A and B are shown apart, each in its own frame.
Chain A
Amino acid sequence: MTQQETPVRKVPVACTLNGQETEFLAAPYQSLLEALREVVGLTGTKEGCNDGNCGACTVSLDGRIVDSCLVLAAEVDGKSVDTIEGMAPPHGLHPLQQAFLEEAALQCGICTPGFLVAARALLEREPHPDEHRIRLWLAGNLCRCTGYDKIVRAVQSAADKT
């Protein structure tokens, strides 16, 4: 049976998105990742695998980091979602964003939003993690360009400055 034969009713979703009350309509099968990118228009959250293995689509859901490709959009009704677009203060950068720039922690940059959102959640819980803790926390985010060295250093540098 195809979607065309049975028109799918879209589901209204009301959530707090990057601190703003936001409403949108999502198809019941749509992931949060797809809804953010295709419905809301926030493309900073990236799709690398769409099966929860690469972390490029990491967002914060009620303060917990999730792979947004594994969450249905309809599930975030009444919840709080924070994406890369909400990370920087107006006309500024989050200390992690600044550290990623200064430490050259990105090459192609496609994994960067996911790493930043994940690293922010780490530093919010543990302001001064050691190297092993950073590596363990970020093991769900794949980067193919950097070998992780400069990413780990950037997180350490941001932690040192806060």
Chain B
Amino acid sequence: MTTTADRPAQEFKVVGSRPIRHDGVDKVLGRAQYGADLKLPGLIHGAVLRSPYAHAVIKKVDVSRAEAAPGVFAAISGDDMPVTAPKMVDMVEEVTNLKWSSQRVMAHGKAVYRGHPVAAVAAVDQNTALEALKLIEVEYEPLQAVISLEDAMKPDAVIIHDDLVGDHLGEKVSPTNVAEHTRTEFGDPEAAFAEAAHVLERTYTIARAHQGYIEPHSSTAFWSPDDKLTVWTTTQAPFGVRSNVATVLKLPLSDVRVVPMEIGGGFGGKIGLYMEPLAAMLSRKSGRPVKMTMDRKSVFDATGPGPGGQVTAKIGVDKDGKIVAATADIRYMAGAYPGSSISAATAGIFACYKVPNVRIDAYDVVINMSKTAAYRAPGTPQATFASESLISELCEQIGMDPMEFHLLNAAEEGTRRPDGPVFPRIGNVACMEAIKGSDHFKSDLGESSDGKLRGRGLATGYWNGGGNRSSVTISVNDDGVVSLVEGNPDIGGTRTTIAMQAAEVFGLPAHDVHPTVVDTDSVGYNDLTAGSRTTYASGQAAIEAAKQVVEEIKKRMAMIWETEPENVEFEDSVFQNKVAPDQRLTFKEAAGKLGQTGGPVSKTGTVNVRGSGGGSFAAHLVDVEVDPETGKVQILRYTAAQDAGKAVHPSYVEGQFQGGAAQGIGWALNEEYYTSPDGVMQNSSFLDYRMPTALDLPMIDAIVVEVPNTNHPFGVRGIGETSIVPPAPAVGNAIADAIGTRLYQTPMNPSRIMEALANKRNGQNGH
């Protein structure tokens, strides 16, 4: 379903259609090669010994017995890894210190999270490698694990990193577990609160939640005797892996070649390094290619979920319900190393609104759990659970309809985002209007026949996303089909969405553009598949390459027609001499004449796209039914409206809205790290972690709103992430509507619902 909000003047032939994805047949046949599917001559298998302690000094690691075991080719510990100097690098969705990247992939002297690699072996097969791990001797001195904000931030806290120097509002502080404290201020919120007609403040707790991709990490490396390293890995960031592996292993950048395998989900969790440097070191020692694949427990224990934390949010409104001020204190647990997306949380928490006076403090806190990673709109679902729950409760208190509140206060073109940037044309209001016009919004909630309680909830959300660097090379074949070479792993149909944008320029069917994702030696630099940037930014590189191809073919046609290139026009896939209009050739006919007119035509489009063009807004509406006997929440109906600018392939846009909504519903209702006091995750399996199944969800209605992006030639916006932002507060608001009391914590699981109902009976509320 597509709304006509602010329809673009442009007409499209390919963009906006729904071709079958180019890699689809391989994927439904089971032929697509994911990380663990790789076979190489002489391949051996690695395994990792992981710390059973969340925090411990490693006094000794002895791998000699493992290394001597039959079938074992090599064993390594932290002593074998090169020492990496501190260096901050920007990974687009996360900033990381390479020293910590190096320590994180293999402990050296100290284990700082449960599952921290301590040693690794490579052997003839997986079982031999796992058995050999038992022969490694490690002497630990367990330390007190720091796993809560309270313990990490208290004055006499156990310090996780002696060498961590915190930046607290510009002041260097050490020792500390608070890596960063930032403040964003505008206007005078305290004065505005004092004048406000109504003020509400609440504190919300949000659980750590894992990206939950179905494919565990898998990396293979071959370190050739000439010191050329090839890494085959399941990653969103082949060029990032190249530079970070080169730095960690002290190799020249261009001596590392990264081959991105098909990727079985990532959601931000497959950006950083995990086993790539270990496989490389084992390969160097053994002379063999080494494959390492994580088990599911290690994925939960030792890879990055999104951060959990606490958000205290406060809002003040005037007598008409207009926001006069808002403040927030955002405290996120980064895991064992700094970097928990607090700047994105700061940008996102009040982004849907006009807030004239604002202050946002944010804290990035290290604890003894695996380093968190980007997770779809990093940092923003957590902050938005606070702001959108707060606004819903405020609306209850002042007796205002949440939809009217949103529309009264909605950010629009020209609004200053609380952290500074001024929005260009955006779809915030259009998404609200789309929900307001939906059948769902107009429908009656109905009543349960068996004593269950129904409620409806609304929430909005925002994610900015980014642009950045992309390179795409297009070559024309004699038959008029073009090949398109790109460097972004295809995580959800982007081969097709990028190819469609080139096809639009050529006036060719989508399937006459053949996209291929290649390794880092075979295409120019591409930033990662993340930040909602792939279709948006790599699409612009494809458009640029296609335009260059058209210009070159115009020159060739001019040569044939003995005229000037300026006289050759290209429209509707036809080249025509405008001074002799009977001289015309279709793109396909022209393609057959390139050999005789100067040789093959192959062009590369490179871009460094600045910004996202305003980001993508969303509004979600959900109906729930709560069983007061069990506390179980059933999602009855769900509608997600989001601004796509221009949907390149509407089916895959809808798919992003639906998939993000499902992940957000999981975060709202079930998903959390259930952790013992010594920092050991107790539910590190899919069974106990409990992501939504097909039976837990209804159909999810996706409304594709199109408010063209002024920063893309076709109006396209990056849309992959926003859809995870509104679900948790939307579900929470629906639960509050159903049971008449609120939950201030995710997950809103049956025990918390029962507790909230009991508190309500006792006349208490939960905040």
* A contact residues, total (Cβ < 8 Å): 63
Complex Cα spacing A42 to B131, Å? 25
In the complex, the chain B residue whose C-beta lies closest to that of A134 is: B694
In the complex, the chain A residue whose C-beta lies closest to that of B496 is: A104
Interface residues of A in 90-120 (CB under 8 A from B): 93, 97, 100-104, 106-113, 116
In the complex, the chain A residue whose C-beta lies closest to that of B266 is: A108
- Min Cβ gap A111→B in Å is 5
> Are A51 and B658 neighbours in the complex by a CB distance under 8 Å?
no
> Are A104 and B694 neighbours in the complex by a CB distance under 8 Å?
no
Does any Cβ of A come within 8 Å of B263's Cβ? Answer: yes
Q: Among the interface residues B18, B39, B296, which one has the most CB atoms of the partner chain A within 10 A?
A: B296
Complex Cα spacing A156 to B627, Å? 30
> Are A51 and B694 neighbours in the complex by a CB distance under 8 Å?
no
> Are B28 and A48 neighbours in the complex by a CB distance under 8 Å?
no
> Are B694 and A141 neighbours in the complex by a CB distance under 8 Å?
yes
- Min Cβ gap A89→B in Å is 11
- Chain B residues, CB < 8 A from A100: 24, 28
Does any Cβ of B come within 8 Å of A60's Cβ? Answer: no
> Are B212 and A46 neighbours in the complex by a CB distance under 8 Å?
no
Does any Cβ of B come within 8 Å of A162's Cβ? Answer: no
- A2 and B491 in contact, given A104-B655, A108-B213, A139-B694 (Cβ under 8 angstroms): no
- Min Cβ gap A50→B in Å is 6
Complex Cα spacing A84 to B29, Å? 6
- Min Cβ gap A121→B in Å is 15
> Are B69 and A107 neighbours in the complex by a CB distance under 8 Å?
no
> Are B264 and A2 neighbours in the complex by a CB distance under 8 Å?
no
- Chain A residues, CB < 8 A from B33: 43
Does any Cβ of B come within 8 Å of A147's Cβ? Answer: yes
Complex Cα spacing A141 to B216, Å? 16
Contact indicator per residue, chain B 1-36, by CB within 8 Å of chain A (1) or not (0): 000000000000000001011011101111111101
- Min Cβ gap B337→A in Å is 25
Majority SS at the chain A contact face = loop
- A135 and B264 in contact, given A2-B132, A83-B30, A112-B28 (Cβ under 8 angstroms): no
Contact indicator per residue, chain A 124-147, by CB within 8 Å of chain B (1) or not (0): 000000010011101111111111
Complex Cα spacing A148 to B697, Å? 8
> Are B214 and A150 neighbours in the complex by a CB distance under 8 Å?
no
Complex Cα spacing A67 to B123, Å? 27
Complex Cα spacing A136 to B262, Å? 29
- Chain B residues, CB < 8 A from A85: 29-30
A144's partner among B18, B132, B214, B687 (CB-CB below 8 A) is B214
> Are A145 and B128 neighbours in the complex by a CB distance under 8 Å?
no
Does any Cβ of A come within 8 Å of B186's Cβ? Answer: no
Interface residues of B in 110-134 (CB under 8 A from A): 125-128, 131-132, 134
Interface residues of B in 258-272 (CB under 8 A from A): 262-267
> Are A110 and B131 neighbours in the complex by a CB distance under 8 Å?
no
In the complex, the chain A residue whose C-beta lies closest to that of B494 is: A107
Complex Cα spacing A56 to B212, Å? 13
Contact indicator per residue, chain A 45-89, by CB within 8 Å of chain B (1) or not (0): 111111101101000000000000000000000000001110110
A54's partner among B18, B686, B699 (CB-CB below 8 A) is B686
- Min Cβ gap A54→B in Å is 5
- Chain A residues, CB < 8 A from B267: 144
> Are B128 and A4 neighbours in the complex by a CB distance under 8 Å?
yes
- Chain A residues, CB < 8 A from B31: 44
A48's partner among B24, B214, B654 (CB-CB below 8 A) is B214
* B contact residues, total (Cβ < 8 Å): 70
> Are A50 and B296 neighbours in the complex by a CB distance under 8 Å?
yes
> Are A142 and B29 neighbours in the complex by a CB distance under 8 Å?
no
Complex Cα spacing A109 to B23, Å? 10
> Are A106 and B24 neighbours in the complex by a CB distance under 8 Å?
yes
B24's partner among A47, A101, A143 (CB-CB below 8 A) is A101
Does any Cβ of A come within 8 Å of B475's Cβ? Answer: no
Complex Cα spacing A44 to B27, Å? 9
Contact indicator per residue, chain B 32-52, by CB within 8 Å of chain A (1) or not (0): 111011010000000000000
> Are B491 and A101 neighbours in the complex by a CB distance under 8 Å?
no
- Min Cβ gap A78→B in Å is 25
- Chain B residues, CB < 8 A from A103: 651
Does any Cβ of B come within 8 Å of A41's Cβ? Answer: yes
In the complex, the chain A residue whose C-beta lies closest to that of B264 is: A110
- Chain B residues, CB < 8 A from A151: 694
- A27 and B127 in contact, given A43-B33, A47-B36, A139-B695 (Cβ under 8 angstroms): yes
> Are B214 and A101 neighbours in the complex by a CB distance under 8 Å?
no
- Chain B residues, CB < 8 A from A113: 28, 30
Does any Cβ of B come within 8 Å of A149's Cβ? Answer: yes
Complex Cα spacing A27 to B492, Å? 37
- Chain A residues, CB < 8 A from B699: 131, 149, 152-153
The stretch from B339-347, B361-369, B507-515, B659-667 touching chain A is B659-667
> Are B296 and A106 neighbours in the complex by a CB distance under 8 Å?
no
In the complex, the chain A residue whose C-beta lies closest to that of B234 is: A110
> Are A48 and B655 neighbours in the complex by a CB distance under 8 Å?
no
B residues near A (Cβ < 8 Å) are 18, 20-21, 23-25, 27-34, 36-37, 39, 69-71, 125-128, 131-132, 134-135, 211-216, 262-267, 293, 295-296, 491-493, 649, 651-652, 654-656, 658-663, 685-687, 691-695, 697, 699-700, 702
- A-B pairs, top 7 by smallest CB distance, nearest first, are A44-B30, A110-B264, A147-B662, A84-B30, A109-B27, A104-B651, A147-B658
A residues near B (Cβ < 8 Å) are 2-4, 27, 29, 34, 37-38, 41-51, 53-54, 56, 83-85, 87-88, 93, 97, 100-104, 106-113, 116, 131, 134-136, 138-153
Query: Can you list 23 A-B pairs, Cβ within 8 angstroms, ordered by A?
Result: A41-B39, A44-B30, A47-B216, A51-B296, A53-B687, A93-B29, A97-B28, A100-B28, A101-B24, A104-B18, A107-B265, A110-B213, A135-B693, A135-B697, A143-B214, A144-B211, A144-B265, A144-B663, A146-B659, A147-B697, A149-B654, A152-B694, A152-B699
* 9 additional contacts (CB under 8 A) given A139-B694, A149-B697: A3-B127, A3-B128, A93-B29, A97-B28, A100-B28, A106-B27, A135-B695, A141-B694, A152-B699
